[in-house]
Chain A
Amino acid sequence: MPDILEINHVCKRFSQNGSIVEALRDINLNVEEGNFVSIIGVSGCGKSTLLRIIGGLETDYEGSVTFDGMPVTAPSRKKGFVFQDHRLLPWLTIEDNIRFSLPEEQEDRESIIRESIRMVGLEGFESAYPKQISGGMSQRVSIARALSNDPKILLLDEPFGSLDAITKINLQDELLNIWKRESITMILVTHDIDEAIYLGNSVVVMTPRPGTIKRVENIDLGEPKKRTGPIFSRYREIIYREFFTEANSPFIYNL
């Protein structure tokens, strides 16, 4: 598969209280079409900034980002973006939120809306308002909204960060199923090590001040993927070691 995304020597600085903060330093990353890449790092390591640059939401940076052969200059429907806050318009119903995201001239608009609501299992909630549904359901709608626009890549910025553990696991499995079925390239930013390993077939570890890529680890959990067991633990240990030295993380070895 060809690379759908090429990131070359991306640097990003911004000023904070008069001093210059280096948010990203010399980021190089290529993503093959159809891959699922997890980017993991502590808060402030620049992982969300990197995702926003890929999405075209952040345009003031050095270096180059090429998506599908073209330089990224602005956000677009082809680059689906799922924010941590579901970002549904509170004054539109679930159905209207999806309808809102589609162009007026879109063919089969109504059947696309129906299909995407069905895909995330929210039949019966079409005319509910966002405040009437749970956080997990809202994030489902937000994913459905992005997918209904038929993106070539889906960028997810800590999408499950504010959900409870059980809902989170369910949504992770649903996302994985969608990825397998639709074969859309996905990039997920997270601070959850298990989530990064379980979802990604490649995990990018970032470290802060300045934000750099420390390691890229290819993941192969076999089929079907399991959240437990020796293969998973081995990957987890590899990633853990990037964040903690042996001295301050003894519990890993005691498990």
Chain B
Amino acid sequence: MAYEPGMDLAGGGRAGRLRGLSGKLPAWLLYFTLPIILLLVWKGADMLGYIKPYTMPSPEKVAATAIELVRNGKLVKHIVASMERVLEGFFIALVSALALGVGIGLSKRVDIFTTLVLQILRPIPPIAWIPMAILWLGIGETSKVFIIFLGAFFPILVNVVDGISGIDAKYFELASVYEIPRKKLILRVILPGATPSIMTGVRVGLGNAWVCVVAAEMIAAVSGVGYMLSDGRSLSRPDIVILGMLVVGFVGKVMDDLVKWVRAKVLVWA
């Protein structure tokens, strides 16, 4: 049986019929179909009077607010403020999780020494630290960076340790044949060998960091996307709240895409 254009390679049945239907749509259009449907449902509900303006604004009201906040520069200012905190907290978390993770991954004694404290601290949601963070560090930048650090630190640490323990023992044997010194072993075998797992940690950690910055800013801040949300609530402006939520989601998606792009670059060898 030779392949001919239009032949149903997936076989018949439901999957085949679905393929037939969606097969007409190019992928890029399919990509935007669901968001467009949701937007239409939203607008439809608004036109039919199912939603009240003071609980749920119309799509064009949110769009108008977006344009206004972009024009006066406030939206960009809030995003940049949140982004700066995230990057600061994330990089502190990355460096310290790498250092501690390598220590734990290489030394059974460091592992035993730290494991109980880490296991108890890890399940505490970063948000639960907010009251203490404010008491200890005040309502300035430091407390928010601390919350973000907590959100990013544990996912990265867990993946660094997993990545190191997952390195095939045969590479350590190889290193012993060539009398590789410890520092070179860490830089050339352990860190690169754990990189696939570390990149997973980075992805989860950065995602968590973004969630944490919004939460921290909703409680104590005068700038940032989280502040924008809580400010919208106190002004009874649901359009600002919805816009803030959409911005949080959109920025989060873009950051995740960026991490995936970096991962592909870093892991060319895999």
Binding site for B on A (CB under 8 A): 55, 57, 74-77, 79-81, 83, 85, 87, 89-92, 100-104, 129-131, 149
Asked whether B116 is an interface residue with its Cβ less than 8 Å from the other chain, the reply is: no
Query: What are 10 A-B pairs with beta-carbon distances under 8 A?
Result: A74-B176, A75-B176, A76-B177, A77-B178, A81-B177, A83-B174, A89-B192, A91-B192, A91-B270, A100-B180
Nearest B-chain residue to A146, judged by Cβ: B177
Given the complex of chains A and B, what is the CA–CA distance between A55 and B176 in angstroms?
11
- The residues of A that contact B184 with a CB separation of less than 8 Å are 100, 104
- The residues of B that contact A89 with a CB separation of less than 8 Å are 171, 174, 188-189, 192-193
Interface SS, A side: loop
Residue pairs across A and B with CB atoms within 8 Å: the count is 53
Given the complex of chains A and B, what is the CA–CA distance between A101 and B193 in angstroms?
16
Contact of A92 among B178, B179, B180, B188 (CB under 8 A): B188
Proximity bits, B176-208, A CB within 8 Å = 1, else 0: 111110001000110011010000000000000
- The residues of A that contact B193 with a CB separation of less than 8 Å are 89, 91
The B231-270 residues at the A interface (CB cut-off 8 A) are 268-270
Given the complex of chains A and B, what is the CA–CA distance between A76 and B180 in angstroms?
10
Asked whether B24 is an interface residue with its Cβ less than 8 Å from the other chain, the reply is: no
Whether B179 lies near A103 (C-beta < 8 A) is: yes
Whether A101 lies near B188 (C-beta < 8 A) is: no
Whether B269 lies near A91 (C-beta < 8 A) is: yes
Asked whether B173 is an interface residue with its Cβ less than 8 Å from the other chain, the reply is: yes
Whether A75 lies near B177 (C-beta < 8 A) is: yes
Q: A85-B170, A91-B269, A129-B268 are in contact. Are A57 and B195 (CB under 8 A)?
A: no
- The residues of A that contact B180 with a CB separation of less than 8 Å are 100
A77 to chain B, nearest CB (A): 6
The listed residue with most B CB atoms (<10 A of its CB), out of A55, A74, A75, is A75
Whether B179 lies near A77 (C-beta < 8 A) is: yes
Whether B179 lies near A76 (C-beta < 8 A) is: yes
4 residue pairs, one from A and one from B, having the closest CB atoms: A91-B192, A101-B178, A129-B269, A75-B177
Contact of B173 among A57, A101, A102 (CB under 8 A): A57
Whether B171 lies near A87 (C-beta < 8 A) is: yes
A139 to chain B, nearest CB (A): 14
Given the complex of chains A and B, what is the CA–CA distance between A22 and B188 in angstroms?
38
Given the complex of chains A and B, what is the CA–CA distance between A100 and B188 in angstroms?
8
Further pairs besides A83-B170, A89-B188, A131-B270: 4, Cβ < 8 Å: A89-B193, A92-B269, A100-B180, A100-B184
Given the complex of chains A and B, what is the CA–CA distance between A6 and B179 in angstroms?
23
Given the complex of chains A and B, what is the CA–CA distance between A188 and B71 in angstroms?
75
Contact of B195 among A83, A91, A92, A131 (CB under 8 A): A91
The B14-42 residues at the A interface (CB cut-off 8 A) are none
A97 to chain B, nearest CB (A): 10
The listed residue with most A CB atoms (<10 A of its CB), out of B170, B189, B269, is B269
Given the complex of chains A and B, what is the CA–CA distance between A89 and B193 in angstroms?
9
- The residues of A that contact B269 with a CB separation of less than 8 Å are 90-92, 129-131
Q: A57-B176, A57-B177, A75-B176 are in contact. Are A87 and B188 (CB under 8 A)?
A: no
- The residues of B that contact A129 with a CB separation of less than 8 Å are 268-269
- The residues of B that contact A131 with a CB separation of less than 8 Å are 269-270
Nearest B-chain residue to A81, judged by Cβ: B177
Nearest B-chain residue to A82, judged by Cβ: B177
Given the complex of chains A and B, what is the CA–CA distance between A103 and B178 in angstroms?
8
Given the complex of chains A and B, what is the CA–CA distance between A149 and B176 in angstroms?
13
Given the complex of chains A and B, what is the CA–CA distance between A104 and B193 in angstroms?
21
B182 to chain A, nearest CB (A): 13
Proximity bits, B155-171, A CB within 8 Å = 1, else 0: 00000000000000011
Whether B179 lies near A87 (C-beta < 8 A) is: no
Contact of B178 among A83, A130, A149 (CB under 8 A): A149
- The residues of B that contact A80 with a CB separation of less than 8 Å are 177
Whether B178 lies near A100 (C-beta < 8 A) is: yes
Nearest B-chain residue to A87, judged by Cβ: B174
B226 to chain A, nearest CB (A): 39
B270 to chain A, nearest CB (A): 7
Nearest B-chain residue to A131, judged by Cβ: B269
A153 to chain B, nearest CB (A): 12
Given the complex of chains A and B, what is the CA–CA distance between A85 and B173 in angstroms?
13
B176 to chain A, nearest CB (A): 5
Given the complex of chains A and B, what is the CA–CA distance between A100 and B190 in angstroms?
13
A68 to chain B, nearest CB (A): 16
Given the complex of chains A and B, what is the CA–CA distance between A196 and B174 in angstroms?
25
- The residues of B that contact A92 with a CB separation of less than 8 Å are 188, 192, 269
- The residues of A that contact B170 with a CB separation of less than 8 Å are 83, 85, 87
- The residues of B that contact A79 with a CB separation of less than 8 Å are 177
Given the complex of chains A and B, what is the CA–CA distance between A200 and B245 in angstroms?
73
Given the complex of chains A and B, what is the CA–CA distance between A44 and B110 in angstroms?
38
